[in-house]
């Protein structure tokens, strides 16, 4: 019997990746002043991956990587004013409105009181805390965990800290590597809710083969899934 629901935040409860994509296009316009037609996606991704261990996930690390990529791609010709412009892009991301995905509040209201709920989100503490507060969703969760990475060891620590039995927990998220596979490895249940835009770092090849894995078309499909699991049907 499932008694705990764990939710991812970015691109599961609210839109997030589109901010990075839109900002990347604005960065391309700045770099394009020096290298017209430059496709900087691969170069920026490479810089992000090099910096991940130092800066972690989130907008701050992304902003620093944008600056570094711009300096590299322009051969250090980029001006201080343009670097300031790039920093401004990062600041705009930090204060952008938090836009809910369809059906989120309805689903969270439905499970309130029926299940123990926990929000497990990856990223910068300040950035994620701000988004949670601005979303107005904090009151829907019994616990909130902001972590630097999502792997099996992290979920084990979170579950142990809150006395959550993995076999009685269902994790809901849009990232197969971050939200699904680690929880399945622990013996938990996991429901994948795909998002329209997927960061290359979160790409996966195929669905896992497990009776504890569920694929949802949208978060609204969580309610009927919970009904089937409650009645003993997967």
Q: Cβ(35)–Cβ(73) under 8 Å? A: yes
The rounded distance, in Å, linking the Cα atoms of 36 and 30 is 10
Q: What percent of the chain clears pLDDT 70, i.e. is strictly above it? A: 95
pLDDT digits (tens, 9 = 90+) for 44-101: 999 999 998 888 888 999 999 999 999 999 999 999 999 999 999 999 999 999 999 9
Tell me phi and psi for residue 227, to 5 degrees.
Answer: -65, -40
The rounded distance, in Å, linking the Cα atoms of 62 and 54 is 12
pLDDT higher than threshold 50 for residue 15: yes
pLDDT digits (tens, 9 = 90+) for 181-197: 999 999 999 999 998 75
Tell me phi and psi for residue 162, to 5 degrees.
Answer: -105, 15
The CB density around residue 67, as the number of other CB atoms within 10 Å, is 19
Confidence of residue 231 (pLDDT cuts 50, 70, 90): confident
Among residues 72, 82, 19, 75, the alpha carbon closest in space to that of 44 is found at 72
Residue 198 confidence (pLDDT): 55
Considering the entire predicted model, what is its pTM? 0.88
The rounded distance, in Å, linking the Cα atoms of 125 and 115 is 26
pLDDT higher than threshold 50 for residue 201: no
């Amino acid at each position: 019997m499932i008694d705990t629901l764990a939710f991812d935040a970015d691109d599961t409860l609210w839109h997030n990746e589109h901010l990075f994509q839109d900002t990347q296009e604005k960065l391309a316009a700045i770099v394009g002043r020096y290298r017209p037609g430059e496709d900087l996606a691969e170069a920026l991704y490479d810089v992000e991956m090099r910096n991940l261990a130092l800066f972690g996930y989130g907008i701050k690390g992304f902003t620093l990587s944008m600056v570094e990529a711009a300096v590299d791609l322009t051969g250090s010709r980029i001006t201080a004013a343009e670097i300031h412009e790039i920093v401004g892009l990062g600041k705009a991301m930090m204060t952008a409105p938090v836009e809910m995905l369809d059906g989120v509040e309805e689903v969270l209201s439905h499970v309130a009181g029926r299940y123990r709920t926990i929000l497990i989100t990856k990223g910068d503490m300040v950035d994620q805390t701000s988004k949670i507060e601005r979303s107005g969703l904090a009151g829907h969760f019994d616990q909130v965990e902001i972590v630097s990475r999502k792997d099996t060891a992290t979920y084990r620590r979170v579950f142990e800290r809150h006395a959550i039995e993995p076999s009685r927990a269902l994790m809901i998220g849009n990232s197969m590597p971050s939200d699904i596979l680690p929880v399945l490895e622990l013996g938990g249940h996991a429901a994948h809710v795909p998002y329209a835009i997927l960061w290359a770092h979160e790409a996966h090849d195929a669905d896992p083969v497990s009776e504890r894995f569920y694929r949802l078309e949208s978060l609204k499909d969580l309610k009927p899934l919970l009904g089937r699991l409650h009645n003993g049907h997967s």
